[in-house]
Structure 1
Amino acid sequence: MQWQISQELKATIQILPRSFGVYKMLDSNGKILYVGKALNLKKRVSQYFQKTITCPKTQALVQQIATVEVMITASETEALLLESHLIKTNHPKYNILLRDDKTYPYIIITTKQPYPSIQIKRSKQKPKNVAAFGPYPNASAVHEVLNLIHKCFKLRNCRDSIFATRIRPCLQYQIKRCSAPCTSYISQAEYLESVELAKAFLLGKSEKLLTELNNSMQNAVHQLKFELAASLRDQIQQIRHIQASQGIIQDEEDLDIVAISLNSPIPCIEHVTIRKGSILNTQAYFPAIFLSSMDNNEQYQHIFEAFLSFYYFEHPERIPKQILTPFAFDKNKLASYQEALKQYRKHSCKILTKAPKNAKAWLLFALNNLQIHQKQQISKQNFIQERMKSLAEILHLKKPINQLACFDISHTHGHATVASCVVFNKEGPLKTQYRKYNIVNTKPSDDYGALSEAILRHFKHLTKTNAPYPEVLLIDGGKGQVNVAAKVLKNLNITDIKLLGITKGEGRKAEFDRIYVKDTKTFLPLKSNANELFFFQHLRDEAHRFAISSHRKKRNKAQLSSSLESIPGIGPKKRKALIQYFAGLQGVKKASIEELCKVKGINKNLAKLIVESFT
């Protein structure tokens, strides 16, 4: 493709140095679009303007570049660190190879209570003032570990407000997942010993833990404490079972494996974390290859560097003693990577390109998982692309479908109304484009008005930001809702969107759902088991899920504020203390004056006001 670039930009590129450095690409307003690192600044920047570039992301980037700024560095290590800092500081739009803009789940054990609790906390950084373990790659992984903790060590997970007010054990005790410290069924010393054992387990010290448990079991037998011995025996069996399922290798070294595959339309990174001989987690990532003009070696290095920045530089506590990646980097590159990691972690991290004898099984594990995850992702994308292709044929569209959007409305008797918009592209749900709209300019219970407001705001924003419109717009509703959407689009002079509605069938059964087409004023002739109908239902259900979850948050917040904020003398801190102590607003409503006075900051006069406000 022939790029139309200004003479000023051409002149800038021609005089770029052939040295280490970092380059910034800026638009006409001076906003940073992309930040990159290069061993040869002139060669790397020139690659973006080649005629053979076919990558849509690169094309979109280059069309917006007004100028390029460079910063020369003394070494590749310095360039790598500077690039990471600029990306984290400026969040450029096109630095999307691996973007870490979400929170990760940690397991935390509180430290200030006599009987610590174990909980899940989501955070970008490692939580402070608690014993924190993680981060874990996803919620399912952390729930699986937490489930094992409850089975083996029976730690409490209830809130302090509930713990302080219990007079008898809860269901968790009955199903043998808690030792009921709330009712003194276990002494504080015994409970704290279980806490320390759980910490050792989470740190991967399984063998040391098993030795201690086995010694304790033998002592219990000698002292004729057979119930205690049986309990310790069960803990040992649980941990042994976990070890067997992981294929333990007795190796005290901490090791991460980063395996990258480029031999597919969808590149994949498989990351495996190994601590004290145990697999703590494994996670697949699917980066976007940005420069198609790179050869495989350059792409591998580019992705590996992005992963270092994304996974380690932003979370230095994750950096292990060793990282294994099966790629033949030259010595200078390895040295620059290791120096950069050392500057973040303050201790050395060795990058291995060949697996030691005791790590070959782990590498094989990582490569096998890499192949499986890659195949799953390809299958998923192929399925969605096939559905989009068949939808375009059924809807008689002249161009392929790149995006579909769906709107839904959620409220409770007209209160806390929220509209949702979800977007799917050829890779599936595009969650970065999901939007929720708090409906403020429409009368309660007016679904048509709420839908009109949401669609108007959404497409005005797309127009303002020059974002692409979806080729297909699905409305959760029938002819009435579709006509409302059509009117809004017409007023905005948007005419090239296929407008559909999905209506509930007889008895609200999914097999009777129908798809209404606005321009033909007919229903699509789809069978109840048609894949196209399933796809529309999936899109509708995702919009409904997103709308109702947003509505519930808004409704709960409104209930809380309307009930307590109106009481004189109840500020944010006291309101929070009340909710925590009584485990929710319903508990506050049922509390007596004497019970309310037990909350820090609530005197008798305030307690009377609270009781009166709910009667």
Structure 2
Amino acid sequence: MTSLDQERYLKLKKYSARLSSKPGVYCMLNENGKVIYVGKAKNLKKRVSSYFGKTTHLPKTQAVLAATGSIAVTITRTEREALILENSLIKEYKPRFNVLLKDGKSYPFIEVTVKDNFPRFSFHRGRKNRSRAEYFGPYPNVNAVRDTLSQLQKIFRLRNCEDSFYSNRSRPCLQHQIKRCSAPCVGLIQEDDYAFDVSQAMEYLKGNNQHVFDEFLKKMDQASSAREYEKAAFYRNQISSLKAIQAHQFADGKRPINLDAVALAQKSGIFCVAVLFVRGGRILGSRNFYPAKTKFASESEVLESFLMQYYLEQDPPNEIIIDRKIDHSKAIQEALSEGMNYKVRIKENVRTERKRWLEIATTNAEESLSMKLATKATTEAQLFSLTDFLQLDGVITKVECFDISHTTGDKCIAACVVFCRDGFDKKQYRRFNISGITPGDDYAAIGQAVTRHYARAVEEAKKLPDLVVIDGGKGQLRIAKECLNELGLTKVPVVGIAKGLGRKSGEEKIFLNLLKQPLAKERHSPAMYLLQVVRDEAHRFAITGHRARKRKTLLQSDLEAIEGIGPAKKKNLIRQFGGIQEVKRASIEDLLTIDGINKALARRIYTFFNAG
């Protein structure tokens, strides 16, 4: 330890000795004032001072101390508040030594618009409006929501259409004809009967299957006694459908159980957390997570960090079962229960069906981790092979690939995809709307995209790729290389993939930098396979962006041609009716219900779409 390091160490040690003994959060900052670690403490003085004790520290503690220039603390009233603040600061600063949950997706729910006379059951993702709807979930993925909605329609015949579609019906739609909807839009079911179906569907979503059975049996007996045999047959069919669905589910029909089973697996320094979603005693599916920055973290620390970061972003279930003991279970329970109208309980050492669910989660974590490690090994072998093929000095760890998509020069989109050791990093993908060039000029489009992308990367001091790939021949490659040189990035190698004879896969020619001749290649080598996969992903990302831009323009161009329709009215019409096709079908009376649309404008819109 140098004299400077010794001086800094003693300064930090003295600071820790003066801290309060109250709970709170401490931030370790480097010499530049950047937060490198965030921790919580029941006793700030005791916890921070432990970093400067005589005992031998773990590798993580040693690494944190070596990089720390100063410490900042925030006192809280309780340990629970410290946990919540810690999670908030980790999310904001993404410190170098904290375990980070990389998943940033919002989860899908089923939304029930309970304030409507005839509520709608539909897919929902994003902000919740609890003043007009109730929500069931979260579900692990979109397919789980769609499967459940399909079950609800089969059993309860509930509507799932948009309000704009529902309010403009004059006859039942196809869903009614295939016995998936009771057609409340045209009055084929009474409000009380529909309300009964809604209440039973909500009980079903809560897992109260036995209650639903009993209610259906009661309705069937009542209808049979009243000699309403068609109605009795309807309830008999509902009971049969419910039994058929439950027979294929691992479910406890006697009592509703809502929980997540959370299991952890670790191998070769990589952690996998698997979450099994159980709602109403039914397994809805599972999801696997790979926390980042776990190099020095213990299993308990990884699991605790996951629970806080994940469940403070999602509504937690009543119960979370975990596969191992953690240090701050009580405080985490209190933090997750805050703001909920129920208490969240974290349990370990569970038995019976809970033990079986936890075993499933553990198996998912272990198998997913094995697949991840196998994929990682393959990816690293491909990157090494590509490095060797291009005869570069350092091993390639990051590849960025560009492609262009347009229709005869119109609505040109450039796309950049990123491939790293862990595979494609979709958070780093970028699209560019190309403008100010001659339509169809692919050279200029590539030049604009490369310049815009790397000018920003240089300005923000971002990590540059070890290789840039261009989906194009020597002309596009030359333009890309010139643009990089102008930005001072002369050392970044660039590869061009020129389409081969007949545009067949495997017949491509590979050009490196400004070499005139293509590189000699093995057709089925790992290097060629990787280049093709990256090129294909860039092409997919570019063409989906181009199609979306073109579709948006086509949908909105008709409305823009009508006198009196500006951006605000156009947006309002599309939002209220649900799309341009519904606007086209709207009557003058329907159009008059929209704010800002007077009778003259409504007549003009109607005539525009219906003349002749």
Question: What TM-score, normalized by structure 1, do the two folds share?
Answer: 0.84
Distance 1:5 1:551 in 2: 57
Q: Residues 229, 613 of structure 1: CA spacing in aligned structure 2 closer, same or farther, 3 A cutoff? A: closer
Is residue 272 from structure 1 mapped to residue 276 from structure 2 by the alignment? yes
Which residue is 2:289 aligned to? Answer: 285
Contact 1:151 1:176 in 2 (8 A): yes
Q: Residues 513-545 of structure 1: CA distance to partner in whole angstroms, max 9, x if unpaired?
A: 554434544445556655544433332232233
Contact 2:80 2:332 in 1 (8 A): yes
Which residue is 1:300 aligned to? Answer: 299
The amino acid of 1:257's aligned partner reads A
Q: Summarize the alignment of residues 67-78 of structure 1 with structure 2, pairs less than 5 Å apart.
A: 67-71=70-74, 76-78=79-81
Q: Residues 300, 128 of structure 1: CA spacing in aligned structure 2 closer, same or farther, 3 A cutoff? A: farther
Q: Summarize the alignment of residues 15-30 of structure 1 with structure 2, pairs less than 5 Å apart.
A: 15-17=14-16, 21-26=24-29, 30=33
Shift of residue 137, structure 1, vs aligned partner: 2.5
Shift of residue 3, structure 1, vs aligned partner: 11
Contact 2:165 2:582 in 1 (8 A): no
Shift of residue 109, structure 1, vs aligned partner: 2.1
Q: Residues 135, 248 of structure 1: CA spacing in aligned structure 2 closer, same or farther, 3 A cutoff? A: closer
Which residue is 1:585 aligned to? Answer: 580
Distance 2:185 2:418 in 1: 47
Which residue is 1:544 aligned to? Answer: 539
Is residue 575 from structure 1 mapped to residue 582 from structure 2 by the alignment? no
Distance 2:418 2:69 in 1: 30
Distance 2:388 2:317 in 1: 50
Shift of residue 28, structure 1, vs aligned partner: 6.2
Which residue is 1:359 aligned to? Answer: 354
1:437 aligns to what SS in structure 2? strand
The amino acid of 2:273's aligned partner reads I
Contact 1:473 1:499 in 2 (8 A): yes
Distance 1:329 1:398 in 2: 46
Shift of residue 488, structure 1, vs aligned partner: 1.0
Distance 2:571 2:158 in 1: 25
Shift of residue 425, structure 1, vs aligned partner: 0.8
Which residue is 1:41 aligned to? Answer: 48
Contact 2:402 2:471 in 1 (8 A): yes
Give the stretch that moved more between structures: 274-283 or 364-373.
274-283
Q: Summarize the alignment of residues 91-240 of structure 1 with structure 2, pairs less than 5 Å apart.
A: 91-92=93-94, 94=96, 97-99=100-102, 101-123=104-126, 129-223=132-226, 225-240=228-243
The amino acid of 2:123's aligned partner reads I
Shift of residue 386, structure 1, vs aligned partner: 2.4
Shift of residue 364, structure 1, vs aligned partner: 1.9
Q: Residues 116, 349 of structure 1: CA spacing in aligned structure 2 closer, same or farther, 3 A cutoff? A: closer
1:143 aligns to what SS in structure 2? helix
Shift of residue 184, structure 1, vs aligned partner: 4.0
Q: Residues 345, 193 of structure 1: CA spacing in aligned structure 2 closer, same or farther, 3 A cutoff? A: closer
Which residue is 2:325 aligned to? Answer: 328
The amino acid of 1:155's aligned partner reads L
1:273 aligns to what SS in structure 2? strand
Distance 2:53 2:449 in 1: 43
1:279 aligns to what SS in structure 2? strand
**Unaligned 5+ runs, structure 2:** none
Q: Residues 421, 385 of structure 1: CA spacing in aligned structure 2 closer, same or farther, 3 A cutoff? A: same
Contact 1:258 1:325 in 2 (8 A): yes
2:461 aligns to what SS in structure 1? coil
Q: Residues 12, 72 of structure 1: CA spacing in aligned structure 2 closer, same or farther, 3 A cutoff? A: farther
Q: Residues 526, 236 of structure 1: CA spacing in aligned structure 2 closer, same or farther, 3 A cutoff? A: farther
Question: What TM-score, normalized by structure 2, do the two folds share?
Answer: 0.84
The amino acid of 2:348's aligned partner reads T
Shift of residue 407, structure 1, vs aligned partner: 1.2
Shift of residue 423, structure 1, vs aligned partner: 0.6
Which residue is 2:334 aligned to? Answer: 339
Q: Residues 321-379 of structure 1: CA distance to partner in whole angstroms, max 9, x if unpaired?
A: x332232346xx33333333344436543332211345222222222222222222223
Q: Residues 473-514 of structure 1: CA distance to partner in whole angstroms, max 9, x if unpaired?
A: 222222222222111112223233332233444554445455
Give the stretch that moved more between structures: 166-175 or 97-106.
166-175
Q: Residues 272-315 of structure 1: CA distance to partner in whole angstroms, max 9, x if unpaired?
A: 233443334422211124352x5xxxx12212221222122334
Which residue is 1:373 aligned to? Answer: 368
Q: Residues 230-273 of structure 1: CA distance to partner in whole angstroms, max 9, x if unpaired?
A: 54444434433443333223454543322222344421112223
2:167 aligns to what SS in structure 1? helix
Give the stretch that moved more between structures: 27-36 or 243-252.
27-36
Distance 1:526 1:336 in 2: 59
Contact 2:316 2:344 in 1 (8 A): no
Which residue is 1:318 aligned to? Answer: 316
Is residue 472 from structure 1 mapped to residue 475 from structure 2 by the alignment? no
Shift of residue 402, structure 1, vs aligned partner: 0.9
Which residue is 1:247 aligned to? Answer: 250
Give the stretch that moved more between structures: 367-376 or 400-409.
367-376
**Unaligned 5+ runs, structure 1:** none
Contact 2:102 2:290 in 1 (8 A): no
Contact 2:110 2:136 in 1 (8 A): yes
Shift of residue 134, structure 1, vs aligned partner: 1.9
Distance 1:548 1:409 in 2: 8
Shift of residue 202, structure 1, vs aligned partner: 1.9
Percent identical across equivalent pairs? 37
Contact 1:442 1:453 in 2 (8 A): no
1:318 aligns to what SS in structure 2? coil
Is residue 603 from structure 1 mapped to residue 598 from structure 2 by the alignment? yes
Which residue is 2:415 aligned to? Answer: 420
Is residue 405 from structure 1 mapped to residue 400 from structure 2 by the alignment? yes
Number of residue-to-residue matches in the alignment: 599
The amino acid of 2:275's aligned partner reads H
Which residue is 2:261 aligned to? Answer: 257
